[in-house]
Chains A and B, each alone.
Chain A
Amino acid sequence: MNFFWSKKTPDVLYTVIVCKSCSERQTRAFADGDVVLAEAKCTKCAGSARIEMIYSAPPMQQ
């Protein structure tokens, strides 16, 4: 529960990667060098994937 005196937790950056072959959608913490629409590697099938989005959100919300 948030009270008006409680400090807001800073937002965290997330990177969303979508695999072109198995359509696996993976959300992980942002790493320096990540850019939207860049090529990446699928962690499930090791196929070619793409960074679909980078966004900021509170740590728990994904």
Chain B
Amino acid sequence: MCAKLDIGEFISFGDDDALLTLIWILPVLIFVLYGQRIQLYITSNEIKKKIIELGQYTTDSRNDLLAYTKREVGANLDEKIDRFLEYFTIMPVDMDPAGMVERVRHVIRLREDSTRAHIRSLAPDLPESEIARTQTLVEVCATLRSLYSMINHMFLTAKRQKNYPLILPLQMILPFVMQQAEALRSSIPAFERCVPVGDGIGPVVVGSMMTGLEKRDVAFQTVAADSEMEGRRLVLVKAKGPMPTVGRINDALDSVIRESKPDAIVMVDAALKLEGEESGIVAHGFGAAMGGSGAERAEIEALATQAQIPVHSVIVKQSVNDALAPMPKAIADSAGKAHEALRTAILENTKAGQLVAVIGVGNTSGVLQ
């Protein structure tokens, strides 16, 4: 036998207490009807705080850049610098992926070359190192500004539409965007003072092998030197320091291959560590180790594949913050281990008499050769 369920008794806890029923049922009704709006309100408040922080990074970095140009270039360039910061890059259409690498490289180089030319036109007497430094600072500030604009746009759109699902992707990506923004913000004093950053570990390792050797320019802002290691001939390549530049490693490798085809390529670079891994861990792997847009890496892969040259990599693991901030001690201490891993990679994968291209990949800010 099944007892008849008295709904009235169930929700009123036995007595006919209307007030208790109201207290019980009112929040349920509010959450059913306005739940999404309440969630939107709470989430948007949290996001707003982060956007204010991001906006502050953008303003601070711009002020730092203007102060730097006033100090170094000796002119008031506020208006012109603001125009640089507003530059945007339209990436090529990827509906037809054929020739995508060349098109991406073309657009990126156009942006780099134009920014450099404009900086040079503002101060024709500025040395190349100062132009590279100013250009790097402009790129950092422009990236921060575009991050802020993108996040602010997503936030305001979701808020205006009062659309909770629209704010969810923003809530998910915001911690990663903030991590990147903090890293960019911390890179400004490093590039201003020409201090090595975590990403510069590759140039530090290869640069130390270049000391005392005769250097030659092999590509734009990129140098090479010939060396020797236990019977192997080495061609050492890195960006030209100590200005903050990554050089043009792909052009340099192309030039090296045209001169004399190497039997192996060994690259040393910083790589992003996984959560839970320690900063400064050195690992040896296969394939081209290189960050950036991917266009340069694709070209190195194409060159190596075409010439059938094996590519080995030595990486030093680090976080995004470590890569852009002044080089932390843990990364600096790993230089010796990275050098040893590089030596092992060369000796184990080549024979005496063979030619090896050794490439130090990364920003060479504050690192000579």
Contacts and interface: CB of A to CB of B under 8 A. Distances in A.
Counting chain B CB atoms within 10 Å of each CB, the highest count among A34, A38, A56 belongs to: A56
Contacts of A57: 328-329
Interface in A3-61: 11, 13, 16, 30, 32, 34-38, 50, 53-57, 61
A11 B366 CA distance: 18
A55 B366 contact: no
Contact of B331 (A16, A38, A55): A55
Given A36-B196, A36-B207, A54 B366 contact: yes
B333 to A, nearest CB: 8
Interface residues of A, number: 17
B211 interface: yes
A55 B327 contact: yes
Contacts of B333: 55
B252 interface: no
For chain B, give the interface size range. 20 to 34
B195 A30 contact: yes
Interface in B188-247: 193-196, 204, 207-208, 211, 241-242
Interface in B324-369: 325-329, 331-333, 335, 366-369
A16 B208 CA distance: 14
Nearest to A54: B196
B328 A56 contact: yes
Interface in B121-154: none
Given A30-B195, A35-B242, A56 B326 contact: yes
A35 B193 CA distance: 10
Given A54-B366, A55-B328, A35 B204 contact: no
A52 to B, nearest CB: 8
Given A30-B195, A34-B366, 7 more contacts: A11-B328, A35-B194, A54-B326, A54-B327, A55-B329, A56-B325, A61-B329
Interface of B: 193-196, 204, 207-208, 211, 241-242, 325-329, 331-333, 335, 366-369
